[in-house]
Amino acid sequence: TPTLIWFRQDLRIHDNPALQAAIERGGSVIPVYLFDEAGEGDWRPGGASCWWLHHALQDLAAQLDKHGLRLILGIGQSASELKRLIAETGAGAVYWNRRYEPAVILRDAKIKEALTQRGLEAKSFNSALVFEPWEIKNQSGKPFQVFTPYWKHCLKRAIPAPVEVELKHAHAPRNWPATRALEELALLPRIAWDTGFFPFWTPTSAAAKQRLGKLAASHASGYTRNRDRPDMDGTSRLSPYLHFGQIGPREVFAAFARYDAEGTKGGRKFLSEIGWREFSYQLLYHFPHIPTEPLRAEFNHFPWEMDETLLSAWQKGLTGYPIVDAGMRQLWTTGWMHNRVRMIVASLLVKHLLVPWQEGARWFWDTLVDADLASNTQGWQWSAGCGADAAPYFRVFNPILQGQKFDPNGDYVREWIPELRPVATSIIHKPWEGGGEQLGGVVIGRDYPTPIIDHSRGRNRALQAYGKLKALR
Ligand code: FAD
């Protein structure tokens, strides 16, 4: 009987254990993608993610086509769509690679049970992580909540090799089931806010491989030095590819091993970032409430001061802090923001502005092409000081000093905030302090806003709020 290979966040034909198992099973192989928004619970993919998904599906379909296979598309509840496809094709098995988001785990478990009860073979595999969340435990058998010991522990274990997929042995069915057209999934925006995405991204699996290959071949030598510099192309930009599974983390390790780069300084640092991704997934798996609630329960009582006007200024990149606004505009224009700047903008929102971290996480969810429930939750809880191994709440980033340190020439600010281009480098991160020639004709308050809150005042307000929380304990 045919096997349905149910693609999800594993949109690749290499290192895909479910696909390889389907091929090994013998019968014909029917690749399927189901756009099941309800199945994602409260975390339906945001606008930017949908953009990426459209292109990733197009790419996957083209790759499958080269091997005589078609990507069958469905829309609606996964359970009923699978049922329909099974009836239409006479499939005897459904294989897929696992996901770890709480709502998806529940949905998939039900599907597995229902399929098994009907006498079908339902099997799931690991393609998304190096180590599955339940594999790594500390000495007391509990999940790690501090990154360094977690990653040390992981690195003592053998890193699984990518799975070889033998597509030449894949058989196509005699008749293909009905499919929806990609356009029917309506993933692309109706208003063209995505024009800035195209010059920034090539959302194909081949592009991910190329970027990874280059990085590994260079032993990620510039990574340690440049990874905090948003004015440079100093990081891999692999995050959306990893999220959608156009490349897998085991392939990342294998590429570094191939070039003997795992042990170099840059290699170790880069692979430890993949470790943060793994760490985020194991946190989400063991603490499924964290996308909306703080891991450290005392933060449930934090005296946030929700303010729509402040939130909106932050979202639009109009806070008056150039490094923050540059980041928010980079995010809006390209669907991505540099990690250092993510930390700075998050700090400003949750500390200076006292807006709940969940609001920031939601905005990122809708605007990031790499929006990922595990990493986004971890990033926001880290920034708000309420997560595992988080930055302590009382450490408040100074957006001026951060800008001066990590964008020393102001190139990043000038790239994303055209109205500040004429401003002298000496004051580009605090233009409200400039005067005369330094401003090059720019009028602060007219051409670009004055700071939404004074840094010292914001810092003190944040510390007072934290003090109230501590007093409650
Ligand atoms: P590189 O530096 O090249 O890192 C390589 C890979 O390691 C990344 O592609 C990513 O998969 C992983 N990685 C790196 N840093 C982290 C980290 N801190 N946590 C988890 N994984 C990491 N990352 C997402 O993929 N999706 C998100 O939704 C997301 N939201 C974030 C929100 C906040 C507030 C913060 C502070 C960070 C967030 N991150 C998120 C983590 C990080 O910013 C991005 O993974 C990184 O900027 C992606 O760029 P890169 O691929 O060039 O990273």
Measured from the CA of 373, which atom of ligand 1 is nearest?
A: 28
DSSP-derived pairing of the beta strands 121-125 and 72-75: unpaired
Looking at domain 297-468, its CATH class is mainly alpha
pLDDT of 301 over the 90 cut: yes
- Is the separation of the CB atoms in 6 and 96 below 8 Å? yes
So what's the pLDDT on residue 343?
A: 98
Q: What is the length of the chain?
A: 473
- % of residues, the chain, pLDDT over 70: 100
Check residue 219 and give its pLDDT: 95
Ligand 1 centroid – CA 390 distance (Å): 15
- How does DSSP assign 272-325, residue by residue? HHHHHHHHHHHHHHH-TTTTTS-SSGGGGG------HHHHHHHHHT-SS-HHHH
> Is residue 472 over pLDDT 80?
no
Give domain limits for the chain.
1-127, 129-162+205-286, 297-468
Residue range 149-156: average pLDDT? 97
Phi-psi group of 364: left, alpha or beta (phi > 0 → left; psi -120 to 50 → alpha; rest → beta): alpha
Chain centroid to Cα 325, Å, comes to: 21
Instruction: Starting at the earlier edge strand, list the strands of the sheet with 29-35.
Output: 72-75, 29-35, 3-7, 93-97, 121-125
Residue 387 has pLDDT above 80, yes or no: yes
Amino acid occupying residue 335: G
Is 376 noted as a catalytic residue in this protein?
Answer: no
Taking 80 as the threshold, does the pLDDT of residue 171 lie above it?
yes
- Would you say residue 13 has pLDDT above 80? yes
The rounded radius of gyration (Å) of the Cα atoms in the chain is 24
User: What CATH class is the domain 129-162+205-286?
Assistant: mainly alpha
Per-residue pLDDT, 393: 86
The predicted pLDDT at position 346 comes to: 98
Structure token pair of residue 103: 């709502």
Strand, helix or coil for residue 213? helix
Question: Which residue shows structure tokens 């250092």?
Answer: 340
- The tens digit of pLDDT for each residue in 321-351 reads 999 999 999 999 999 999 999 999 999 999 9
Establish whether domains 1-127 and 297-468 are of one fold.
no
Binding residues: 223, 235-239, 270, 370-372
Segments of 118-216 assigned E as strands: 121-125
Residue 465: alpha-carbon gap to chain centroid: 30
If one residue of 147, 237, 252, 277 were mutated to test the ligand 1 pocket, choosing by the most ligand atoms within 8 A of its CB, it would be 277
3-state SS, residue 30:
strand
Active site (annotated) includes residue 138: no
Q: Which two tokens stand for residue 131?
A: 């180590």
Q: The whole model's pTM is what?
A: 0.98
pLDDT in tens, 215-270: 999 999 999 999 999 999 999 999 999 999 999 999 999 999 999 999 999 999 99
Residue 440 tokens read as 């090059």
CA of 305 to the centre of ligand 1 (A): 27
Residue 447 CA: distances (Å) to CA of 264, 272, 322, 329, 454:
47, 42, 13, 16, 19
Q: Is 336 a catalytic residue?
A: no
> What pLDDT score was predicted for residue 392?
87
Pocket-forming residues, ligand 1, beta carbon under 6 Å: 227, 235-239, 242-243, 273-274, 276-277, 280, 339, 342-343, 346, 364, 368, 370-372, 375-376, 378-380, 383
pLDDT at 471: 85
**Burial class of residue 159 in the structure, from the number of CB atoms within 10 Å of its CB (0-12 exposed, 13-18 middle, 19+ buried):** middle
Contact between 278 and 250 under an 8 Å Cβ cutoff? The reply is no
Mutate to test the pocket of ligand 1, among 375, 382, 386, 406 (most ligand atoms within 8 A of CB): 375
Main-chain phi, psi angles of 308, to 5 degrees: -60, -35
Q: How confident is the model at residue 104 (pLDDT cuts 50, 70, 90)?
A: very high
ipTM of the complex: 0.99
* pLDDT tens readout for residues 372-384: 999 999 999 999 9
The band of 186, judged by pLDDT with boundaries at 50, 70 and 90, is very high
> Is there a contact between 229 and 223 (Cβ–Cβ < 8 Å)?
no
Q: Note if 304 is an active site residue.
A: yes
Q: Which CATH number applies to 1-127: 2.30.110.10, 3.40.50.620, 3.20.20.70, 3.50.50.60? A: 3.40.50.620
Confidence band for 114, pLDDT divided at 50, 70 and 90: very high
